[in-house]
Amino acid sequence: MPLRGSARPRTGALAVPLGASRLGASYLRASFLCASFLCAPLLCAADPGAAPSSAVLALADTATAAGQADPPAVADAPACHAQAGWDLACLRARYAGPAAGWPAPTIDAGVHWIEWAAVPPASSPPLQWTAANAGQTQLAADVARPAVVTLGQMLFFDTRLSRKGQVSCASCHQPQRAFTDGLPLAVGEDKLMGRRRSTPLYAAPFAPRLFWDGRAASLKEQVIGPLHDPREMNHDAVGAVTRLRENDMYPARFLEAFGGAPAASSSTVASASSAAASTVSATAATTPVAQAPAASTPTSAVDADRLARALAAYVASLRPEKTRFDDFLSGRADALDDTELLGLHLFRTQARCMNCHNGPLLSDHQFHNIGLSFYGRRNQDLGRYEATRDPADLGKFRTPSLRNVAQAGPWMHNGLFPDLRGLLRMYNAGMGREAPPADPPDPYAPRKSEHIKPLDLSPAEIDALLAFLKTL
């Protein structure tokens, strides 16, 4: 199935049979083994067995309103489905108009969801789309200034920011890989490996909190964190600023972007970045930021706060590559073929993906436990809990954007899944296992989100869902 292009759909009343039997008990038992790091690739590459029988989808015949806090009333039978299978001509008719007239998605009670829409362009008023956090006003002003964004782009690709000049921001966030790096775990200076996969960046300016565990409260805090992390750039603000001031190019660029030296250089960037990096050394966390000279010179225009601001502005300007999914959202009904359209419908309904992957970025920007924390085992990662120490956050990770998702593998916070089809099979089985019951109960055992349930999708339906994901 091509990732791009304008494949024309078949318009006949085609049916996709679902099969007669449900997932066997042996496959469901195997799905729990897939929560083990070593067993996951084996299971995810295996055939899931018999196709499930037709499941009742929670669909409504009425239009859905964007930003709804509670699910709409659902019908007793799925739309465009009969005993023989899916009526694709019926589905095409149901999705022929604007999203307001589409079949209602399956949404759990109490979930606030937003209808899909185009990603706001960076040229639109930034205060309308940047996340409402502590850094919003400053970020909105900076991203509207081309000189600041251009400076941030130069810094993003410059290895001078790392202590030994080995890596840049782009080493882990490559444009051709949807600003990830294609590795299961991030690799920094001296080939040291981190604990988690490099975070995709497209949703960064839209998210209230950043990193997989939400430890950064603003995009400016997020972009400066890797500078101090010994497993990433292994540097510090003083060293980076000194190096930039000594460069023939950067002082003039900073002066053009920000003007003369600020009245007082920021003294909080280093301490903020220590909170943003998961493994910052005690020395880096307490290193003071270099103060700008009192005289307003090109050299004095360079400081750590402006370094972070320029990087944040560039990241905020990034947008996912336009795809046929965008064409479909804009009203071009033939942008998706029949298989992809069925996948879109399943994504919104039986597969239950809209509970977390909604809105323009296909992310709710929230934190969820899908059962991959490996609690009590070798690869334990308790996610947001490690930043907050709030038991309610045990095992939770931030929902990534699915824009350009097919280019962003391997997937999940730990890069566990090298294949999207294997990932979909795990979701179909209800994802990872929970910690076994303990007596007395273990207060630190993470509990999987109620949104994660077995889906009863057939192999053909998983293929359709995969085809749709490749259009995003």
Asked if 457 and 350 count as a contact pair (C-beta separation under 8 A), the reply is yes
Residue 43: pLDDT over 50: no
The whole-number pLDDT of residue 268 equals: 43
Split at pLDDT 50, 70, 90, the class of 68 is low
**Confidence band, pLDDT 50/70/90 cuts, at residue 263:** low
For residue range 158-203, what is the model confidence (pLDDT) as tens digits? 999 999 999 999 999 999 999 999 999 999 999 999 999 999 999 9
Is residue 270's pLDDT more than 50?
no
Whether 71 has a pLDDT exceeding 60, the answer reads no
Prediction pTM value? 0.79
Note whether 81 and 54 are within 8 A (CB).
Answer: yes
Q: Given a cut of 80, is residue 110 above it in pLDDT?
A: yes
Q: Which of 456, 471, 453, 470 is nearest to 346 (CA)?
A: 456
Alpha carbons 312 and 317: distance in angstroms, whole number: 9
Q: 36 pLDDT exceeds 90? A: no
- State residue 300's pLDDT score: 85
pLDDT band at 293 (very low <50, low <70, confident <90, very high): very low
Question: What separation in angstroms does the CA of 322 have from each of 119, 173, 329, 340, 371?
Answer: 10, 19, 11, 17, 32
b/e burial code for range 350-379 (CB count within 10 A of at least 16 → b): bbbbbbbbbbbbbbbbbbbbbbbbbbeeee
Q: How confident is the model at residue 49 (pLDDT cuts 50, 70, 90)?
A: very low
Sign of the Cα torsion 246, 248, 250, 254 reads positive
Q: What is the pLDDT at residue 48?
A: 34
Dist CA 416 CA 201 (whole Å): 19
- Report pLDDT digits (tens) over 358-390: 999 999 999 999 999 999 999 999 999 999 999
Confidence of residue 1 (pLDDT cuts 50, 70, 90): very low
The per-residue pLDDT for 177 is 95
17-21, 156-160, 213-217, 369-373: the lowest-pLDDT one: 17-21
More confident residue, 9 or 202: 202
Residue 87 has pLDDT above 90, yes or no: yes
Of the candidates 289, 303, 452, which has an alpha carbon nearest to the alpha carbon of residue 370?
452
pLDDT in tens, 386-439: 999 999 999 999 999 999 999 999 999 999 999 999 999 999 999 977 777 788
Domains of the chain: 87-119+322-471 (1.10.760.10), 136-262+298-317 (1.10.760.10)
> Residue 2 — very low, low, confident or very high, per pLDDT cuts 50/70/90?
very low
